[in-house]
Chain A
Amino acid sequence: MSARLSVEDLAFGYGGRVVGAGVGFAVAAGEVLCLLGPNGGGKTTLFKTLLGLLPPRGGRVHVDGEDTAGWSPRRRALAFGYVPQAGAGQFPFTVREMVLMGRTAHRGAFSAPAASDHAAAEAALERLGIGHLAERDWLRISGGERQMALIARALAQAPRVLVLDEPTASLDFGNQVRVLEQVRRLADGEGGEGLTVVFSTHHPEQAFAIADRVALLHGGRLARFGTPEAVITAAMMREVYGTEVEVVAVGADGMRVCLPVGLKRRG
């Protein structure tokens, strides 16, 4: 399988600061890549550089073999869908209007959304099971609903690569599971070709649950890249997070989780 998204020797940073360098990996269509790493490790900066929101300090980003350097925002938006960490919004748009904004790159700068745009927005709402929220005020829905709506917006964009920056941060347990299920479903595709999904998280068990590949970012370097089982080991967690964990398989199908040894109940 050829790579949908491939990153070569990427260096990234903001302002005058280089945050990371030498990052390279490749992800195929239908695969989920989980980006793990400590706070301040450069995950968000890496994402913004991937998306072209920050200029790369070196290296290349390819989508389906095409170099993205010099792409216009519009062309990038047709390739990448972005679900930001804190979905901004100061104004009381309806959820439908918000999702419809995902179609921006599909129409001319001056033109109104066409019937196909409305249809795509509806389809995205339905696919995420939030059709009932369409008329709700963006500022008056819950964090979980907003996260689903932001994913719907990125989906309406009809991208090839979906980038989610800590999609489960600040969600309750149930919503975290629902968002992860959706992410996996989008990568698997429904009949058609699946999306390539890249997401960041602080929870290694999310990588075990839905990721095909894990990139462990430490101090701006790619400490390890591979399958979750190969990357998330007790030794690696100790090296990157500085904490003792035990990786254990639980449940009927043996899903792995990281148990922090220091927090184990004694006695």
Chain B
Amino acid sequence: MAALLVAAVCVAFSTGAYPVPPGELAGLLAAKLGLGSAAVAPAVETVIWDIRGPRVLTAMLVGAGLAASGAAYQGLFRNPLVSPDILGVSSGAALGAVLGIFASLPVLAIQGMAFAGGLLAVGVVLAVASAIRGRDPVLVLVLGGVVIGALLGSGVALLKYLADPYNQLPAITFWLLGSLSAVNRGDLAALVPPVAVALLPLVLLRWRLDVMTLGDEEATALGVPVRVVRVVVIAAATLMTAAAVSVSGIVGWVGLLVPHLARLMVGPAFVRLLPTAVLLGAAYLLAVDTLARSLGPVELPLGVLTAVIGTPVFLWLLAFGKRGWS
């Protein structure tokens, strides 16, 4: 798995509008590490270090974050078909970003609004769920997420309808389809802390998360304080997803498909599932992003590519997946 990721990284650094052969890549790396002074053209250094580097790392972080939250959510909601969007984080982020674009705010503010929108949407869903008592809390959460998500989606639709069709509408559409083309070092720096902070509780609670897949009653009877664990995991996954989509825009399928594949490979135990999902998610999104910027003369939207690749894989899993959920 790690080897796969390394291979994806090498390919990603080499390919693009300005191809860099692997030898030159190794030379640059050696020079940067202070091992010899290979003569590397300044243009190559700029391409690798300032343009491709942040983009490659961001793609990996976004992929890893989405996959990790997906893995946590699928366990928490006891359903392997759940994606990190289920509680409305993506819809909230979308509305935030679209609102920012509509108000012609600077890029940084748009990202901030997307991030806040994602957190806010899930916060509202959690508040609604805790207000409705006496029903299956997981069911209330999921249905609450669906309803709030639909409401936010209609908000996005309204803003698209009202937006300036020459300036704002293309920007909105572009954001909603997801892309890493404008990523810079600042984005990367903004992405690292939330992903790292959110990954920590998931790693720490890895054994408890297995027990959570048994449902509230069994988990409680086995000694797990389910409400606390659930809120912590939702907060962590939301933070990670909101941070990811605020940089990349909406990138579907990764959070649904990658944990699924990881589970087929190493089984459902979170102690193995989480690292596998993280590595696989990083490699998958990096590969898709490399395809997105090298397939055609113009960049293809990430969200479109993940869906085009994701749908057949998912259908195949549905039809032939062996370790099933019968």
Chain A interface residues toward B at CB < 8 A: 14-16, 48, 51-53, 72-78, 80, 82, 84, 87-94, 97, 101-102, 104-105, 107, 109-113, 137, 139, 157
The closest CB in chain A to the CB of B220 belongs to A73
Assess whether B204 is interfacial by the CB under 8 Å rule. Answer: yes
CB contacts (< 8 Å) of A105 on chain B: these are 222-223
B208 near A109: Cβ-Cβ < 8 Å: yes
Q: B263 contacts the other chain (Cβ, under 8 Å)?
A: yes
In B85-132, the 8 Å CB interface with A consists of none
Name the distance in Å between A164's Cβ and chain B's nearest Cβ.
12
Q: Which residues of B contact A (CB under 8 A)?
A: 75, 78-80, 134, 204-205, 207-208, 210-211, 213-215, 217-218, 220-226, 263, 267-269, 271, 323-326
Interface SS, B side: loop
Whether A97 pairs with B210 at a CB distance below 8 angstroms is: yes
Select one of B213, B217, B224 contacting A48, CB under 8 A: B217
**11 A–B contacts from the bound complex (CB under 8 Å):** A73-B225, A75-B223, A77-B221, A82-B218, A82-B221, A91-B78, A91-B213, A92-B263, A104-B222, A104-B223, A109-B208
Decide if B205 touches A110 in the complex (CB within 8 Å): yes
* B residues less than 8 Å from A101 (CB atoms): 210-211, 214, 222
Bound-state CA distance A176–B268 (Å) is 30
Provide the bound-state CA to CA distance between A80 and B218, in Å.
12
> Contacts A78-B223, A90-B325, A93-B267 given: A104-B218 contact, CB under 8 Å?
no
Give the CA-CA distance A94 to B79 in the complex, in Å.
18
| Shortest distance from the beta carbon of B215 to any chain A beta carbon, whole Å | 5
Contact A109 B205 (CB under 8 A): yes
Complex Cα distance A111/B271, Å?
A: 11
Residues of B within 8 A of A89 (CB): 213-214
A74 to B229, CA, bound (A): 13
Find out whether the CB atom of A74 lies under 8 angstroms from the CB atom of B223: yes
